[in-house]
Structure 1
Amino acid sequence: MLILNQRQKDLLAWVNREGYVAVEKMAAHFAVTHQTIRRDITLLAEHKLLQRYHGGASVLSSVENVAYDARQVLMIEEKRRIARALAAEIPDNASLFINLGTTTEEVAKALSQHRGLRVITNNFHIANLMCDYPDCEVLVAGGALRKRDRGLTGEATVQFIRQFKVDYGIIGVSCIEHGGVLRDYDYREVLTTQAIMQQSRQVWLAADHSKFDRPALVELGHLSQVDALFTDQPVSAEMAEVLAAGDTRLVVAA
């Protein structure tokens, strides 16, 4: 399991935010040697978290997400805090959509003590986990199964989801742009998440701070379509204005 120290986490978030950062600039900022920064970059590049270049590091391509096994451990403590905060607001006897993503999988884990849940998901990891919870009914969408993360997507998935209207749609996302646009990498996954948002009375987005201003190819929607954003750090003044304009509630997990 990959465990990042705080400097490596901050370095990765910086590169994701800026797009490219030079080794010299990172070494000065963190008050460490160039060799230390290069070792950090090499480690992160080996786990496909960023792209290594001579003299610096950049974000990965906007057309491909970080590998699933790396995302399982990336920002894991932040994801768990977000999951606990979100789960604490879900009442017993609620109906839920839960979509693909490692953050939503942490939400599923945090719901283990709830009773009377009715869960619809296109995520096999979540289905396998929650089917063992007492008094929890799990419905699994059909569709094409992706090898890389055991996610179900495609027209059959969308059609299945559109049969239901649930209390809460719990979604993750790959990118939140500074103007509030939500983006992801796979257009089939985007279509599924859009259906979830349309068929949910409340849409709750779980996203750690590294998701802000990452590059991703496909437009999913806008924060104004989200009722609540659960994250792990206070947002910028500009983002706070976007949330206020869209009447989106902000929850910063302690």
Structure 2
Amino acid sequence: MTRIRAVEPMFQHTNHREREILETLRQHGGSCRIQWLAETLNVSEETIRRNVKTLASAGAVRKVHGGVHIIGGHVEQPFNTRFSENAFQKQAIADHVAKIICSGDTLFLDIGSTTAHIAAALQSHRDLFVVTNSMLVAQSLASRNNNRVFLAGGELRAHDGGAFGKEALEYVKQFNVQYAILSVAAINASAGFMLHDIAEAEFSREISSRARIRIVAADSAKFNKSGPIILSHPSDFDMLVSDRMPPPDICRMLADNEVDLVLTEDQRGQRHTNNKAG
């Protein structure tokens, strides 16, 4: 197994407080007043201003009079909204991934909305060994068909039931599995695969480093979009499963990095030369 290379996110120095600020902004529509953030996070307004200044320098937020606003491309929709968006395409992707996974396989599944569809598509499989930080994934696959499901520890986020942070990262370090199945927020030719959340990116990198085959599952709505966090170098992944042929520049990016492109049943899959997943 080739261990994932360390590729720093755009916000490589973001600390715990800055992550809390970004997460709170996302949960409240992208804009908040400084005073309200300080009260909500139980810190001083000066602490909020200092961290907002760093985030603004990184291009994540914009300071406004008395408040702060996430820059448009960095706002991600709530989980329930994302789960319902492009549901037909995500279900087709999920069905295809379920054909790749065999009963008895070992795998990581992350918190993404597409991954939740994949978990549902795996419910007829047997004897799966599944590690996840998603309560929804765990509920879908635990206590079924002799599966073993391991849920990463830590506080569950209210809006998506995901566990993140030091406890979750330490927990998954115990495992070495066949597949890591990951969702992303955006794909483009210049940056590769991207996410909106630093904690999600950290978790995805960790589970990717502990799997033999790394699969990105993403619908075509993610093409030519952008996110603030670069997940990793594209060559650190083995396969992209999607519903449509990407634009030519993304196809070239995948081919240059030996990432297999596998399309759902309505499309012809394009396989690039790649020995990593063999």
TM-score range, shorter chain: 0.7 to 0.9
> How far apart are residue 151 of structure 1 and its match?
0.6
1:155 pairs, out of 162, 166, 170, with: 166
Give the distance between the partners of 2:192 and 2:154, measured in 1 at CA.
27
Please name the residue that 1:125 is paired with. 136
More strand by percentage: 1
Conserved 8 A contact 2:116-2:137: yes
* TM-score, scaled relative to structure 2: 0.68
Which residue does 2:189 correspond to in 1?
A: 178
Q: Displacement, 1:214? A: 1.9
* 1:145 CA drift (Å): 1.3
What is the Cα-based RMSD across aligned positions, in Å?
Answer: 1.6
Residue of structure 2 equivalent to 1:205:
216
Q: Secondary structure at the match of 2:120?
A: helix
CA distance in structure 1 between the aligned counterparts of 2:119 and 2:143, rounded to whole angstroms: 12
8 Å Cα contact 1:99/1:193 also seen in 2:
yes
Identity %: 29
- Please give the residue correspondences for 1:36-185 in structure 2 after superposition, counting only pairs within 5 Å: 61-185=72-196
What's the counterpart of residue 268 of structure 2?
A: none
Question: How high is the TM-score relative to the length of structure 1?
Answer: 0.74
> Displacement of 1:180 after TM fit?
4.8
SS of equivalent residue, structure 1 residue 82: helix
Q: Deviations for 1:126-159, whole angstroms, at most 9, x for unmatched residues?
A: 1011113211110000123111100111111111
Looking at structure 1, the residues matched to 232 and 188 of structure 2 have their Cα atoms a distance apart, in angstroms, of 11
CA distance in 1, matches of 2:226, 2:158: 23
**Residue aligning to 1:28:** none
Q: Distance in 2 between matches of 1:163 and 1:213?
A: 36
Deviation at 1:244, TM superposition (A): 1.2
Distance 1:132 1:74 in 2: 28
1:123 and 1:136 map into 2 onto residues whose CA distance is 16
Report the CA distance shift for 1:129/1:143 in structure 2 as closer, same or farther (over 3 A): same
The aligned counterpart of 1:27 is none
Worse-superposed segment, 237-246 or 195-204? 237-246
1:190 maps to 201
- SS of structure 2 residue aligned to 1:152: coil
1:134 maps to a residue whose letter is N
- Corresponding residue for 2:53? none
Choose 199-208 or 220-229, whichever is displaced more: 220-229
Q: Distance in 2 between matches of 1:109 and 1:166?
A: 20
User: Take 1:172 and 1:101, find their aligned partners in 2: how far apart are those partners?
Assistant: 5
| Counterpart amino acid of residue 239 in structure 2 | A
Matches of 2:137 and 2:129 in 1, distance apart? 13
Q: CA deviation at 1:235?
A: 1.4
Could you say what secondary structure the match of 2:103 adopts? coil
User: Contact (CA 8 Å) 1:227, 1:247: kept in 2 or not?
Assistant: yes
Confirm whether residue 216 of structure 1 aligns to residue 227 of structure 2: yes
Structure 1: where are the runs of 5+ without partners? 1-47, 49-59
Divergent runs of 4+, >4 A: none
Report how far residue 245 of structure 1 moved.
Answer: 1.3
